[in-house]
Amino acid sequence: MAEQERKNVKIGFFDSGAGGLSVLDCFVKNGSFTEAVYFGDNENAPYGGKNKRELTALAAEGVGRLTAAGAEIVVLACGTMSVNVLSELREIFPQTPIFGVFPPVERCVLEGTRPAVLFATPATAKEYKNIPGITAIALPFLAAEIEDHLFSLGKVCLKKHLSPLAENPSAIVIGCTHYALIGDRFKQMFPNARFYFGAKDALRNVEEFLKNKTAFLHGNADENLLNQNSDHFLVKKEVGVTTFDSKSNRNQIILKNSTVFGYFYGKKVNFIGNSALLNFDAYTNICSNLTKIQ
């Protein structure tokens, strides 16, 4: 794909709420595309405790909204959806390249950083419970507390969600994109640990897909390339956890089927859905490079 054509692709991001803003931020800062669209299903957040049927239905609706808004590629900016329903969504939307954001546990294991702990929602943690070298711990209520305090993240008490660990881990794997919004809190509690988060792995996959393939966008998919997870079993340098500082307090705003957009790091980012204004304001609040609002 020619460079200009690659830049003109509109990428859609879907999360159960505002946690996917951590993934959006990584892509907007580092990606080569010029336009994005974000849909957060804040009204139904969190997704971590929902069964697979519920997840599939909600995820299909979200992907459908993004494609209707012009997204040519969709990123599931949610660990729970990525781990549990990515294959189902690819069957439902065979003409849309869909990528997930996965906990990079393989990279952590290959780098030999042990003991390691994966913090995730219950739906994600159960899928990683038998991986040697990784202790998967479910935090069933943390994502909801973060969602409730988007404009007062300092009030989120991480310590109350963590049971005492048998030993101090050498590595922390962030398995829920909401948790990245309070990455500073994790670093305070585990100051000597290396941190792993899958957003840049997902970005690398999308960029590689766009660089090498036009076939999928014209109806001829390369399944080997598309079916790669965000973690390639490759040893890569440490990926830091994004930390956002909340600067104001605000109540949640719901405007039915609203649309708002701004330019962040020179890229146009559209926010859609009932919580569009909420997510736009949340990202404006935590992003240091808003250059234009309309």
Instruction: Give every CB contact of residue 42 below 8 A, 6+ residues apart in sequence.
Output: 16, 17, 18, 147, 252, 274, 275, 278, 279
In angstroms, the CA 189 to CA 290 distance is 31
In angstroms, the CA 33 to CA 269 distance is 11
Name the pairing type of β-strands 290-293 and 258-264. Answer: antiparallel
In angstroms, the CA 42 to CA 220 distance is 34
* Per annotation, catalytic residue among 26, 108, 176, 287: 176
Q: Is 26 a catalytic residue?
A: no
* Per annotation, catalytic residue among 26, 78, 108, 287: 78
Q: Residue 188, SS3?
A: helix
Instruction: Give every CB contact of residue 200 below 8 A, 6+ residues apart in sequence.
Output: 26, 30, 239
| Ramachandran assignment for 127, one of left (phi > 0), alpha (psi -120 to 50 degrees), beta (any other) | alpha
Q: Is 157 a catalytic residue?
A: no
Cis geometry, peptide bond prior to residue 103 (ω within 30 degrees of 0): no
Which residue numbers are catalytic?
78, 176
